[in-house]
Structure formats: C-alpha cells, structure tokens
Structure 1
C-alpha cells in the first residue's frame, strides 16, 4: 500500500534525526538540555523522579524574556499587553521559568518526559548508555546526560571518588508575597535590593504577577535571607547530614520558636519594606529554608555519560551564575552530542564538551566559595 504524503514526511523527519539521549532530571537544567538536544536533532527521553514540582519561593536573576524566548523557541503566551514587559531587574520566580520550559518540552514531539521515574543505576558499553529505574525499567540512548541536581545519581558513576556537594555553612530563607502586602504602606521597589546587617545578608526583589503582568496591584515581591546561625537546626531536621545537604526545610517543619526568632530579627535588621514582607510570609508560614551546597567538579564526563547544571557544578546563589552556566552546559553538550553522532565518536565529542566547560565551572564555584567562607566562617 502506498504511504500517504504525511506518513512519508514523518518517515523522512524520523530518518533525519541523529540519535537518542536519556536526560536524567526534569528541573531547569534538564528541561533546557532536552530542548537543546532536540533542536540539535537528538530524540530525548527525560526522566524526572517526582510527579510534580511544588511552588517554590526561589527566584532567579538575569532571566530576561528574550532569553526565555531563545531557549524555548517561542514567545510568551500573553493574555494582555501588560505581560509583554518585564521588571527592570529581570528577576523571575523559579516556578514561572520552570512552567515556561516545561510547556516547550511538552509541545516538542521529539522529547518524551516521564514523571515518577526514579533512576537508581547508570551503565554504558561501547555502543550505548542506559539507566535503570526503581521499578525495573531500563531506558537506553546513545548518551545519558545527568541533570539531576546537587545529589546527582549520574554523578556517582561519572565521578565516583567525588560524589557529594558540600554544605557551605548557611541557609537561605526564601519567601514570596503579593503586592497587596505593601501597597498602602510602601513604595514599590524599582530594582533588586542587596542589604547587609552584621552577619546577615538580604536580597529583595520585585517580581511580575504569576501571568507575567507588571500591572500595579497584581505583582509579587520576593526575598532571600542568608543566615549562618541555624546550622544545628538543619542537622536536627535531617536537612544536612555531616557535610552533605539532603533537602530543604519545608515550611511545615520550621519550629514555631524559629519563626518567632526570625520575626524578631527581621524587625531589628531590615528596613520597613522588607520587614513587613518577611513578617507577612512568616505569618502565613510561606517560608522555606534552603541549605546551600557547593560542588567544584573534577570531571564532567565518563564515556557516554555527561553532567550538566547542578549535577556538574553547584555554586552559591550569591554568584548569580547558576542559570546561565546551566544554559551554557545544555547548549554545549547538545552541540557535542550532535557532532559526535555526525562523526565517528560520541565519546571523543563529549570529552570536548568537558574541555570547554570544566575550568569555567570550577572558577565559578570557587568564586562563590570566597563569599561562603567569609560569611559562614567556622559555623559549618
């Protein structure tokens, strides 16, 4: 039977694809890597261990609308003209960025995103690489890319003698509030505020509304408070074990006594605008504590396995470099994989990716460590 033109086109498109990749991790670096690989002609299977991501108080600077349009290959879907403009600080919530990237991945026919897929083992041979999940499934590709964060499973195979990111010695308290909290008492901030008071640092930043609008009345405001005094609490709650960060401190797990202490300190330390925003978040229990980890890589590649994002390098957020470094990783590894599949050796091409990215990643993390050591002192 003669194939229909649509089927012929689909078959031709399939033949033009270069190969396959398995990306472990569906957070920001994983999504960016999947998009970059697909754009380079690679079919991608992406595995994410959680079923859905909770809303996060974290925000990321330097992420402009034009940058997101370049990464996703499409403009924002806008309900009104006010969503076309961004705050001058170019700070966006982690949740908003993740939603944009995930939507682009979901619309890409060459990416299969599988949730609730917990990777336990990673392997490779001369012809392919694969991962095995906790339910016994095996996913195979020409390469496996670890984008699974600072506690990366893929890193255990790539760098078995240097597996763990190290606790930097402090926590960042994070919160988001609505503009209504400050509308009648304070002027809306124009840009990021960076404040220091004794042993504490605070970053405060204006944000767009959840739909991207910056129309007055619907916007958000966020803050990140650097605190090196509560490491015992982090260990008591299992957030840090030894020198290794395990997880964040959820709002429900923050003791009432700690919230009262933070409220009193906020009143003493910070200007009225940020004091009121922080107190609102504390009152609503809309605060999370993120212990900061750091990881200086020795290698990014092992055969057909490669690392990107926080699996590859973990800087303190104070560097402001994590997102852009992850984007550079994603684009560089996709270019390398495509070149290797076009040529004779994916393994050789991935080592080229390592040569391109390793030293800049090491320098980025080390520059942040200078801040961490001066800030945390001997409190680790």
Structure 2
C-alpha cells in the first residue's frame, strides 16, 4: 500500500505478535505496544489447529513448534472409564497436507518463538506501556503514551484482547462479553496420550492435549452459576473432586494432587464468556483484530487460530494497492464468517455440555467445524 510506513500494534499476545511479523516482512516500521513487563503469557498449553498452522507455516516457525510441541491428527473421545467412543479427524488446511492436524505447545514457548521471529524484522517492542489517547487525522494517528511520549503512525491495530482498551475507545457503548455459565480448568500433567483426547463424565468432560514429548495439558469445563473466580486455597481440593468420577490414567493425576506435586499455583481457572463485534471492525485508521472483536470459548480449541488467521488476512489487505478504508473493509469481509463460525459453534458446544446433549451430537458439530476451517480463506 503506497504511503504506508509506520504501524503501531497494541497488544503483545499471539495475534499482535503474528501481525507484527507479517507487517515487518513488508518492510514496514512496526512498534508493538504491551502493557505488561514482558511478552511471556499466563497460561498452560495451547492447541493450534489448521487456521493457526497455515499462518505459522507462512511465517516460518513450524519447525520450532514441532520441535518443542506435540503434534496430533485427531480428537479421540472416550467414556469416563476409558471406553473408546470415536475419533474425530483434525484436518490440515487444504493444500497444506505437509502440516499436522494440530499441535499443542506451552504458551510460554510459543511466545518465545514468536518473539524471536519478530527480532528478524526489527519489530520495536515497547513494554510497560499503554495508550493515553489517540487522535486521528486524514493522514495519520497521533498517539500519546502513558509515559507522556508522543508518536505518529499511519495506522493503529488494536490486538489487546478481550478487554480491549482500543475497542472501548472506538466503541464506548460496547456491551461486553456474555457469560456462558461454564468455567475452564487447565493444568500441565505428565503425557499419557498420543492424540488430543477427551473423556466424557456425567457432568463434565476432561481433555488432554500433547504439548511436548513428556507433557500434556489437561483441561475440563465445569458448569458454574456465577461469573466468579475460585479462591486459591480451594483449587486443589475442587480439582481432585471433579476428577474423581474418571478412571484410566486420570486417578494418577489425582494422586499427584494429593501428594502435593500439583499445587494451586499450577492450576488455572477462569469463567468462560464470548463476544462477536457486529459493528465495523475499524474506524478510519484504527482497526481491531483477535479477541478484541471475536472472543470464543475454548470448545473448538481454535480461538487463537482464528485470531492469527485474522492477522494474516489484514496483512494481505495492507499489502495490496488499495485505500486504507478498502483494506480494512476487505479484511472484515474475508474474515467475518470464519470468525463467527468459531464463536458460534464453540458456544453451541458449551450449551450441549450444559444440557447433557448426546456425545454424538457434540462430535458431529466438532467434525463439521474442523472441515469448514480446513478450507481455503476466501479471496
């Protein structure tokens, strides 16, 4: 795009770092602005499916991911006691048959890989920094930072997550996310599965994603009445209680809890919510990506993937010879339906769990979703 030289990206998560790499490859000057003191995220593992892996192949980090992560090609489903139910293929992207269906990796390792790749393109990372104000003109965006410093950019990209400050500046009447009456638990445990594996109990399901040769991360979704976090001193006892109905290898995880080898510091719990911004995803020279516009629950394990895909589409449109307005509109046009599929189908899977719908019904929706997401992105 003629006249495009300098870009600010607010938010140093997966979407923000991916956008920084993709725009840095276009020889643009990129400032990545992050409010925390480092780019190291809080979290256990993360599941990367077809939309994510296609982009990560594009930016050249697949070898690193497969070196440090755990690859798999299906979601295997079992009863609580370990009786096999079905295998749901995780399709690689069409025309990407050299890729696995999925990769699990520690969030910290993924952030490290992306941060190293940003250095290749001289991305300027500004830590401990927030935006005080944005003033748009016809030609640029004037930014005032929390330390009083000022700078001018051709565009600003808001990649600052579910509670996006940039979105709230653009849309002060945004109603916020919708609570789903579920919470998700996550903890890293010794690896005992080859594929992404889910066990269905009477009230909850628990799953395991390989994230290295020796570890997987365990997750399960819990039905909760209030959008509240759980006191740290209660986490280990509740986790052990929740897992008590499961057989197979899972009692060995309960044993690790009782022995103090899994502590409250190792457990991550959060209530689940979602949103989909129906308004335009930009105003003039400021545009939003990732969870700032479409935050999904983790039932399809594709929230990060669709955010990364959005970063790719936006970078493609910025590279074309068109106006900024055309680029931002085309980005939303190409990305909206796929992002909405992830949000809507993830929420629907959560409702199936709450309503105790048949496992087959959940499996079918997962399969249909992965098939759709394996298809090429529209031009």
- Give me the TM-score of the superposition, normalised by structure 1: 0.75
The Cα shift of 1:163 comes to: 5.0
| Structure 1 residues 63 and 280, CA gap change in structure 2 (3 angstroms) | farther
Gaps of 5+ in 2: 74-102, 356-379
What does residue 83 of structure 2 align with?
Answer: none
The Cα shift of 1:322 comes to: 1.6
What does residue 26 of structure 1 align with?
Answer: 12
d(CA) in 2 for partners of 1:66 and 1:364? 16
Alignment partner of 1:124 is 2:114:
no
Q: 1:265 aligns with which of 234, 242, 246?
A: 242
More strand by share: 2
| Structure 1 residues 162 and 351, CA gap change in structure 2 (3 angstroms) | same
List 4+ stretches of structure 1 deviating above 4 A: 63-69, 74-78
| Structure 1 residues 270 and 119, CA gap change in structure 2 (3 angstroms) | farther
Deviations 1:168-195 (A, max 9, x none): 221111000245xxxxxxxx32211112
What does residue 26 of structure 2 align with?
Answer: 40
- Mapped contact 2:162–2:295 kept (Cα < 8 A): yes
The alignment of Structure 1 onto Structure 2 pairs a total of residues equal to 319
SS at match of 1:255: helix
Alignment partner of 1:221 is 2:216:
yes
Deviations 1:140-193 (A, max 9, x none): 3111111101111111133333252222221111000245xxxxxxxx322111
- Mapped contact 2:197–2:207 kept (Cα < 8 A): yes
The Cα shift of 1:75 comes to: 6.2
d(CA) in 2 for partners of 1:65 and 1:348? 25
- Mapped contact 1:46–1:114 kept (Cα < 8 A): yes
| Structure 1 residues 277 and 108, CA gap change in structure 2 (3 angstroms) | farther
- Give me the TM-score of the superposition, normalised by structure 2: 0.75
The Cα shift of 1:309 comes to: 1.0
- Mapped contact 1:315–1:368 kept (Cα < 8 A): yes
Matches within 5 A, 1:41-190: 41-52=27-38, 53-54=40-41, 56-62=43-49, 67=54, 70-73=57-60, 76=63, 83=67, 86-89=70-73, 90-109=103-122, 111-162=123-174, 164-178=176-190, 188-190=192-194
Alignment partner of 1:204 is 2:204:
no
What does residue 328 of structure 1 align with?
Answer: 309
Name the Cα RMSD after superposition: 2.8
| Structure 1 residues 60 and 289, CA gap change in structure 2 (3 angstroms) | same
- Mapped contact 1:156–1:163 kept (Cα < 8 A): no
What does residue 297 of structure 1 align with?
Answer: 277
d(CA) in 1 for partners of 2:329 and 2:51? 31
d(CA) in 1 for partners of 2:348 and 2:67? 38
- Mapped contact 1:46–1:113 kept (Cα < 8 A): yes
| Structure 1 residues 300 and 173, CA gap change in structure 2 (3 angstroms) | same
d(CA) in 2 for partners of 1:370 and 1:356? 23
| Structure 1 residues 115 and 376, CA gap change in structure 2 (3 angstroms) | farther
